[in-house]
Amino acid sequence: MTHELLPFLAVCIFIVAMMYASVGHGGASGYLAVMALFSLHPEALKPTALLLNIVVAGVGTYLYCSARQFSWRIFWPFVITSIPASFLGGTFSLPPELYRPALGVVLMFAAWRLFARRKHDDYDAEAPDIPLAMLVGGVLGFASGLIGVGGGIFLSPLMILLRWANVREVSGIAALFILVNSISGLLGHMSSLQHVPEFAPLLAGVALLGGTIGALCGSRHLPVSAILKAMSFMLVLAGGKMFLI
């Protein structure tokens, strides 16, 4: 990627961070899509996305928890297994011929998840059995470390579909889940940091700004359905690119 394109990449990262943070996500799948579209080196995608995820999920965790959109009782069984599983997943490096299709699948799933999002009425939530929550946390943690996402893009719709938490709690739970898994996944593959581009601090700064704005808006329950559908279109484009090259 040429330096002339850096301002455009920064703007895209800002937009992704703002959109995803509005629903409690760190935005890794979106960062992967944007960086792929700007033709960053494949080895730089995973560590850079995790770093940006940590920044945005960190501020999101603080803001959502401050707004009391979090339940420790529901959260801890997921995270107790996801942390070591994410670390383990981060130790694996998929070859490009496997990594690109896997990334494409993740992006396509994220696109479907965002496009299919609908306003859900409040319901009586019932926390899952602890063994089941631990199993789910382990699977999602390993996948997040392996591919370079925080796992929230999978956890949020699963929790809503199975009514494991109230809708207002899902964003806060997802934000902290993403934060700890991103840190663990990055620690499991520290050597990948050498591939992080020199302009990563700039991307982290704009992601922090966008994530703060998005999380503030999301914690006040502003509608984001139209923005998420627009994001799903970009993810489809980026996911399709992974299968074509």
Grouped pLDDT means (10 residues each) for the chain, 245 residues = 87 92 85 88 88 94 89 94 90 75 78 66 79 94 80 81 82 91 84 87 96 87 63 72 65
Share of the chain above pLDDT 70, in %: 88
The pLDDT value given to residue 205: 97
pLDDT tens per residue across span 68-94: 889 999 999 999 999 999 889 888 877
Q: What's phi and psi for 221, nearest 5 deg?
A: 65, 40
The pLDDT value given to residue 187: 85
pLDDT tens per residue across span 192-210: 788 899 999 999 999 999 9
The pLDDT value given to residue 118: 55
CA distance 52 to 58: 10
Q: What's phi and psi for 121, nearest 5 deg?
A: -70, 155
CA distance 233 to 115: 8
Please, are residues 189 and 45 in contact by the beta-carbon 8 Å criterion? no
Q: pTM for this structure?
A: 0.81
Token output for 85? 């599983």
